[in-house]
Each structure stands twice: as C-alpha cells, then as structure tokens.
Chains A and B, each alone.
Chain A
Amino acid sequence: MSSEPVAVVGIGQTKHVAARRDVSMAGLVREAAQRALADAELTWADIDAVVIGKAPDFFEGVMMPELYLADALGAVGKPMLRVHTAGSVGGSTALVATNLVRSRVHATVLTLAYEKQSESNAMWGLSLPIPFQQPLLAGAGGFFAPHVRAYMHRSGAPDTVGSLVAYKDRRNALLNPYAHLHEHDITLEKVQASPMLWDPIRYSETCPSSDGACAMILTDRAGAARSPRPPAWLHGGAMRSEPTLFAGKDAVSPQAGQDCAADVYRQAGIADPRRDIDAVEMYVPFSWYEPMWLENLGFAAEGEGWKLTESGVTELDGDLPVNMSGGVLSTNPIGASGMIRFAEAALQVRGLAGEHQVDGARRVLGHAYGGGSQFFSMWLVGSEPPTS
C-alpha cells in the first residue's frame, strides 16, 4: 500500500525579535499556531494531533514543554509528542508530524517549534562546567570557525565569500516582515568592516539571538482538497545522524548530510538537484556554511560551492536562490530555526512568500542541521502533488 500524500495547508510565524517580553511561552506558541490555523481556515477541533519541538532543555530551563503547552496548543484529548534533536529540531519535528499523516495514523496534524532565547542563555547551556573536562576555549563561533578555515583551505575560496552571503541574507530579510534583523542601511562594506570575532568569522557573519515560534498544519489528500489556499506537497523527507566527533568525521561535508540529501532526492525523483530544484532554504548560522552546504547537498561539486555564491547564483533573483527568508543569519530562535526553513520552502511553492517570492518556484528544499553537525533533517516540497 502506498503512503498517503502529505500537504502543508497552514503556516504561521511570530514576528521574530530579540525579546518578546509581552507574552509567556504559551502566548508565543499560541500566536504562531493561531496564524497557521487562520491560514488553513481550520479550528482547534480540526486538529488530530500535535507535534512540538524546542531547543535543548538547558537553553530555557523548561524540561517538559509539552505538559505546560498542551492547553495553549489545544492538545487536550489528543496525542502530543515532543521531538528533540538540537538545532535541527524544527526540521525533525515537522518530519515526525509528516510521518503521522503519511502513515495515515492521523489526517491533520499541527506541528510547532519555538524558542525564547531572551529568557535563557544558549552559550551557558552549551558550556556546563563538567568536572575533570577541559573547558571549551572559544564559544559557539570558535567551535565552528576552524571548520570554516578547513573549508577555505580545501576549496581555495577567496576570503570575501562569507561576507557576500551575509550581505545577501540581510537584504533578503528586508523583504520578509517576520525576520528579526532588518538592517536597512546594510552595505557590503559594512559587513566586511565588522569586527573579526573568531577569525575567519566576522560579527556580521553570525546569527542573532531571537524569540520566535513557527507552526505548520499538515494534512492528507482529502484535507488538501478542502484547503482555501494552494497547498505545498511533500515530495521527500529524511533525517540522518552521526556522532559529533569520530575518527574520520568530515566536519566540512558530513556524510550524514550527504546521505540525508540523497535519500530525499531518491524519494522525490531528483536526478540533478542543481537543475531540478528551484530554490533552497538551508540552515546557515555562520555565513560560510552556505557554500559548504551547497556542496554537501549536491548543488555543486566539492570545492565549487563558493563559485555559486560569488557569481550571484544564490541571490534572490539568481538561478538558485538560497535563504530567501533572510535565513538563520537574520532570524535565530534556535528551537524554531529548522522549522522556519521548512516553512519557507513550503511558502515558496505555495506562491505565498510575498516580497521574497521566487517566481515560478515549483520544487524547493528545506534543510536543518544541529548539534555539532550531528543531526540532519530535510524535506523537498512541490507545488504539485507527488506522482508516485
């Protein structure tokens, strides 16, 4: 028996900001969920199950958010699941929800991910004083910067590529009313003049710290037929994991990322991602990860990804737009960041992305990763139902 086609019929986000002091966490998630329901023109009674994701517990000190948030998400009397895969959680949460529909366990599922970074400190959460262990000598950027240097060495990329990514993503964010950073006076010169924090990573090439939530309503073929607005159809979705550290790990282009993409492309019948996919919304917390992931996801050969960035291919009006929403570089409520990528992919193929809409986007990839390149989750959505 074939699996049920899955459609995205509702998407809701909060306006992402540095601090939402006016709402509780319940109020924050409620806002995104209500917007998704409004988009789908559905009510709480139409939802069969709720799947929620958030950042690691120490990031906010809420150990069982599914208990506290059941009321706000209308989950009483319904199954509620929580997913937990570090920074990729927004993506894997959406995929768990997807599989409930795909397997015909439920017809219509609300999935949501959030974080209030302002109520906690992610760097503290990542650097607990474990006895006997040598403390990490650098901070989050310091963890990733050596991998960026390794990429630059391997690819021979000019050192300006990172600034081009940041300049592009921040300009894209200006077209997205939900994005956190709206730097109206951004220039390439300003990005390139910003302080070097963890050489080779500059301040302007890092992500902000945001409060925000993102929700989606997933449904089956019958639900999609009732949708008032065009649905996005799932063509492929996959997750892969690997240890953060192991002998032979390629931190520049992790095997788990390559395998995850290959699985998605196989499901979706994608022979050549560069040709067959119209746009990509990927998890780029530091600018250099754009060329690195372009290679990891098969859009460019090894060592060639930066050429797509440098030649303008990944610009909003380019041949393969990347991070149309402004990306993680412009908005980073960590627990929600993966789902925002997936939601942006769906908005694009629905033709509902507003000012950052890519003309004729028919197949778009959403990508998330997390935990020291340990977890990967991706989906490919299309404007037409899958044929097989």
Chain B
Amino acid sequence: MTTEVLKAPLVVEFPFTRSLGPVQSAFLTGLREQVVLGVRTTDGRTLVPPVEYAPVTADEIRDLVQVAPTGTVTTWAWNHAPRRDQPLETPFAWVLVRLDGADTALLHALDAPGPDAVHTGMRVRVRWAAERTGAITDIACFEPYDSASDSEVAAHDGQFESMVTGIVAQARLDYSYSPGRAQTAYISALADRRIVGERCPSCRKVYVPPRGACPTCGVATAEQVQVGPGGTVTTFCIVNIKARNLDIEVPYVYAHIALDGADLALHGRIGGIPYDQVRMGLRVEPVWTEGGRYPDHYRPTGEPDADYETFKELL
C-alpha cells in the first residue's frame, strides 16, 4: 500500500526588534528627515550606508558626514518579477548607487521603464517616500536624474529631534513542509485511532512516532508495529502556567507515556484524574475526540500501577 506523502505550507514569521546603536540610529533618523549620512573612516574614506566599525582598520568610527541625494550607478541587475514586500511592484533594477561624496555604494531599487534604460555610470537621485518613519524604505527608490557629480560632504553631528533608536525587522520565511513517508503512515493510522510505530531492523527497538530511520543505528526502518493503546506514565510534571496558544486549563499534567510495545516514551496530557494524584507507573489509555488528529489526552485504565523496574529505561 502506498499513501501519498503529506505536504503543507509552513510560514515562519516573527517581528524581531533591533536596537540600532549610535550610527544606525543617526542614519535612519536622517532618512526620515531627507538627509543621507555616511561615516568617515580613519583612513579618510566615506562609507554610505555607514557602519560602526571600520572594515579595514577595525577602528570604532563615529565621524558622520552628510552626502548628496544624487549619485552614480556602479552596477545593476534587472528584476523582471518583483516579489512581495520588494521596493516596487512593477519590474525594476536592483542597483548599487555611489552617492556623490561617498566611496562605497548603497543597494537599492531604480525605477526605470526597462533594462534598456539602465546602464552602469548613469546618474540617479533619491525618490523620497511620502511617509517616512526612520527606515531604509524612507528612500522609496532611485530614479534617473541628469546632474553633475558634486563630491562635497559636510560634517554632521547626527542629532535630530526624537531619534529613532530601534526598528522592528519583520522576518518571514515560506516553507513547504513534508513530514516524510514514515510520519505520513503514522498520521494516517491515527485517523483510524491506531498508533503505529516502526521497528529498527538492527536493534529491534520500536519507535513511536517513527522517523523512518533509527537514530542510534542509522539504518532505515520499515516494519510497522502497532503499539498501545495502553501505556505507562514514566515521568511527568504539573504545568501551572498557561502556555501561549494552548487552550488548556491549568494545572494539568504533562507526561512521558510509554505505550505498550514501544521502546521510547511519547508525550501527552493526563486527564480523568486529579492532577495531584498522577504518579510514575500510572497505567493510562488514549482518549480520542471527534476530528482530533492526536489523542486529546490519556486517562487511567484502572489497572494496578506498573512496577518501576518495567519502565525505568523509558523515562
């Protein structure tokens, strides 16, 4: 029998926060005020965007200068199909722009009608975003602009009213996740309220849930073994604080349960007994609910407790 291997999207996203430190704080606050700041290195170069520590000498650098909002494209690549959250929704050029007065180039987007309209050495200027918050997106993009290069820079103290000291870096990764053959078989058996593990052909241990390979022997597993439904609580804790995204009233018991026939405990919640009467060795069985992929919890079977010697290897 072959079952189609399961697959589902997995979106990982989190609003990471970033403390900027003195140099990035001045740079991003400056963008909000339509001022582009660079930093002077001890060997006399101007870096835009600025960094806190000089790449060549490793010196701490804090001498800020204001550079022009105009510059020259040093190299570029055409982006035929912009993706979500990129600077422009229509096709554009990724460009490295050396702003007038700077010795290094800044990566950004260039709004141009097509790749034929872009060339290395072309002159461009900043197009400011209408609403600016103190972020690199305060530069909406660059646009073609004929002007003479002016490399004058002016010292700047980097101070503005209400400095931006931190940003939120919203990160998002889109995965397509598959649990693989062994877990797919395990999950489809659960739909019939059967718990099926796999036996290692080498050490003969039964793994639940199965992972398709034995982590000790490093060999593939295939032989399916139904375990349980009865099992033994091998160890546990009483959870007194509510976990995020879990709709379970505290206190409750979170336990390691060795199902009969399995060589590894799995984890589950114990119900149907006051939390303070759960004990190591308690005999339990799964309780299924309509539509649940996994047993909702495990409840006592009423059998005598298992002897410690029978489960001491399964904690």
Contacts and interface: CB of A to CB of B under 8 A. Distances in A.
A binds B: yes
A211 to B, nearest CB: 9
Contacts of B148: none
Interface in A52-83: 58, 60-61, 70-74, 76
A71 B55 contact: yes
B246 A197 contact: no
Nearest to B203: A247
B237 interface: yes
Contacts of B29: none
Interface string A17-36: 00011111111001000000
A121 B14 contact: yes
B52 interface: yes
Interface stretch (B86-94, B97-105, B150-158, B263-271): B263-271
B21 to A, nearest CB: 3
A375 B101 CA distance: 50
B207 interface: yes
A123 interface: yes
A200 B293 CA distance: 30
Given A23-B21, A153-B280, A138 B60 contact: no
A196 B243 CA distance: 14
A137 B251 CA distance: 12
A24 B241 contact: no
B239 A131 contact: no
Nearest to A136: B267
Contacts of A61: 14, 16, 169, 171
Contacts of A248: 205, 216, 263, 313
Contacts, number: 170
B248 interface: yes
Interface in B3-29: 6, 8-10, 12, 14, 16-22, 24
A129 to B, nearest CB: 7
Given A136-B267, A153-B280, A198 B56 contact: no
Given A27-B52, A76-B56, A153 B267 contact: no
A245 B315 CA distance: 11
Interface stretch (A3-11, A141-149, A175-183): A141-149
A341 interface: no
Nearest to A133: B179
A132 B179 contact: yes
B270 to A, nearest CB: 10
A44 B60 CA distance: 12
A354 interface: no
A195 interface: yes
Nearest to A202: B240
Given A71-B54, A146-B255, A21 B19 contact: yes
B55 A23 contact: no
A116 interface: yes
B72 interface: no
Given A61-B16, A61-B169, A119-B16, A199 B235 contact: no
B165 interface: yes
A248 B263 CA distance: 8
Contacts of A135: 245-246
A247 B264 contact: yes
Interface in B203-259: 203, 205-207, 214-216, 234-241, 243-246, 248, 251, 254-256
Nearest to B295: A134
A128 B245 CA distance: 12
B12 A58 contact: yes
A130 interface: yes
A156 interface: no
A251 interface: yes
B8 A132 contact: yes
B240 A195 contact: yes
Contacts of A121: 14
B139 interface: no
B293 to A, nearest CB: 7
B259 to A, nearest CB: 13
Contacts of B56: 76
Interface in A74-129: 74, 76, 116, 118-121, 123-124, 128-129
Given A76-B56, A135-B245, A247-B264, A150 B17 contact: no
Contacts of A199: 237-240, 251
Interface of A: 20-27, 30, 44, 58, 60-61, 70-74, 76, 116, 118-121, 123-124, 128-139, 141-142, 145-150, 153-154, 195-201, 243, 245-248, 250-252
5 tightest Cβ-Cβ pairs between the two chains A and B: A145-B237, A74-B58, A24-B21, A199-B238, A131-B8
